[in-house]
Chains A and B, each alone.
Chain A
């Protein structure tokens, strides 16, 4: 199979599959969580949009909670990591270009140099997370092999992305690996612990509702 055919498959049907899998998977996660409230009615009964949003925004703001301030480095690393992982991919020129070629849509993107540095920052953040898992006893005790696998799965698209951008050895093949690993990661989100990407809003929202509406106390 030639490079071109492989590229066509990975950038075409596989990409569509991955995005569909991601979206449907996330919807499935949310639907399941909501359905499970059948035997846990409280979650719905006490849900309070204002307090839910209050808690969610608080926990999405850097250093806005006591525990974030207790772990200043972890907080910094976490926010950079999440911005690099969730937001940045939408604003990479090469990514936008693919959408432009397929659908004719375009939007402003970040300078490539910035993207490269940010990608290195994401990789460093992953090394930091790995270090925490290996060094801190309370984190090591909780860590399971799947946690390491997830770190690796997240690292791969960023590492291969830098590689392809730099045009190092066999960059064309690494580009394919980059796309493939990104697609695997996308599908993995709703079906692994990475699902916290969607579930965060539900768990935090519920706790925000309980603390704001019933307990009249801060939950941060």
Chain B
């Protein structure tokens, strides 16, 4: 099986990466690497490189390493050694073949999930180091094609799904109309100035899962929230440029998002159930723009729903009967410590909650995040095979009776869906929004 897996891994040819490599010259590679190593990176890169004692204790943190037969090349430190370690050693004098390998490692073998930080005695942040490798690859124009396409969409439309302005507002109206069959007076307020809540979602919601917007509207209505969604660009809080290494574009996307909220003079931004979007708004994009903390308070859906459900702002008619298990997305667990609130919420909504182990901040990643799922079909087999350990965790939860997995993150949904299908786990996947919508007392 290992032999076969390795074969699949090595046979990946990505058009975007290859096209970028064809344009490279040794001088360009060297100058870009030097620029990033010496001017963009600083204390962390140099201190991490100097501090790592090659103890290998980070290895067990990584689902790639554990799933792929404990391949030493896939340990967090192993990935550093294969990429930025060599770049530093050779001062940027590396070949195009090396860049191909580095891009493969950074874009498809690390989810930037930062679990290894919790295993390294020194707290070395390999996710950050892989972000630097991605930055170099982006500046060299060596980015997986599907991911770059998404980044292009964000450059053109400020959303990741090539959705035109009218299509967005149309979708909101369409969902409002649908929801009115159920709740006759419901509104999806667009561009309402002075509302309390600015609700933002990721591009795939209007594109593929429009019912989530409908459900959110019903939840807001039931809670009596004063909310709005922007009618113009800035509505999509996602950010694939953050993952491709295009920091400049990331900054523009985040600025559009914050400005859309500021223009409507809202009190806070509530985000849908997406992990990476939260990371980009709360943790990464704001820093690039020079805000120490987001200029407008940002609240993840789990936090928001926790407040609604646990403080009785919406009432539960009948708890969800099927036993559920809870997947902790990296960006809201290690990124915001929402693991306890997620559990309280799950217990408030469901009869039976089965715990996967490890969980909370030590949970096993979905292997879709960090933009890996956005690298598209060429990487799908590798992505699923490099996370057999998650499949095992799901099987274990199933053996304990869990029938439904709640994953409050879109990337996790994508990744877990593929894992469930590939390994034949046969469990259902849901968002918290799905459950709340199902069990709540609906507004009249």
Contact = CB atoms under 8 A, between A and B. Distances in A.
B81 A141 contact: yes
B52 interface: yes
Q: Which of B42, B65, B287 has the most chain A CB atoms inside 10 A of its CB?
A: B42
A162 interface: no
Interface residues of A, number: 51
Given A71-B57, A195-B50, A141 B72 contact: yes
A42 interface: yes
Given A138-B70, A215-B334, A196 B123 contact: no
B75 interface: yes
A27 to B, nearest CB: 15
Interface stretch (B113-121, B207-215, B377-385): B113-121
Contacts of A208: 123
Given A141-B73, A204-B123, A217-B335, A33 B47 contact: yes
Contact of B122 (A147, A204, A211): A204
A87 interface: no
Given A42-B287, A200-B121, A204-B123, A217 B334 contact: yes
A37 interface: yes
A105 B292 CA distance: 49
Contacts of A144: 54
A191 to B, nearest CB: 10
A2 interface: no
Contact of B43 (A34, A65, A204, A216): A34
A42 B41 CA distance: 11
Q: Which of A32, A55, A67 has the most chain B CB atoms inside 10 A of its CB?
A: A67
A174 to B, nearest CB: 29
A130 interface: no
A204 B81 CA distance: 21
A78 B117 CA distance: 19
Contact of A202 (B47, B121, B334): B47
Interface string B356-396: 00100110000000000000000000000000000000000
B122 A203 contact: yes
Contacts of A158: none
Interface in B16-68: 39-48, 50-57, 59-61, 65
A145 to B, nearest CB: 11
A138 B361 CA distance: 24
Q: Which of B55, B59, B77, B335 has the most chain A CB atoms inside 10 A of its CB?
A: B55
Contact of A39 (B42, B81, B336, B362): B42
B78 interface: yes
Contacts, number: 138
A170 interface: no
Looking at chain A's contact residues, the main secondary structure is helix
B44 A40 contact: yes
B51 A37 contact: no
Given A193-B52, A195-B50, A138 B362 contact: no
Contacts of A217: 333-337, 339, 361
Contact of A199 (B40, B45, B47, B65): B47
Nearest to A201: B122
Contacts of A200: 51, 121-122
A199 B335 contact: no
B349 interface: no
A199 B122 contact: yes
A180 to B, nearest CB: 24
A202 to B, nearest CB: 6
Contact of A141 (B44, B75, B125): B75
A80 interface: no
Contact of B42 (A40, A71, A74, A215): A40
Nearest to A139: B56
25 contacts: A33-B43, A33-B46, A39-B41, A39-B43, A40-B41, A42-B287, A43-B42, A43-B43, A43-B44, A67-B57, A67-B61, A70-B60, A74-B57, A138-B65, A138-B75, A141-B78, A142-B75, A195-B50, A196-B51, A200-B51, A214-B283, A215-B337, A217-B335, A218-B118, A219-B123
Interface of A: 32-34, 36-40, 42-43, 45-46, 55, 59, 65-67, 70-71, 74, 132-133, 136-144, 147, 193, 195-196, 199-200, 202-204, 206-208, 211, 214-220
5 closest cross-chain pairs (CB), A and B: A207-B123, A40-B42, A141-B72, A216-B337, A39-B42
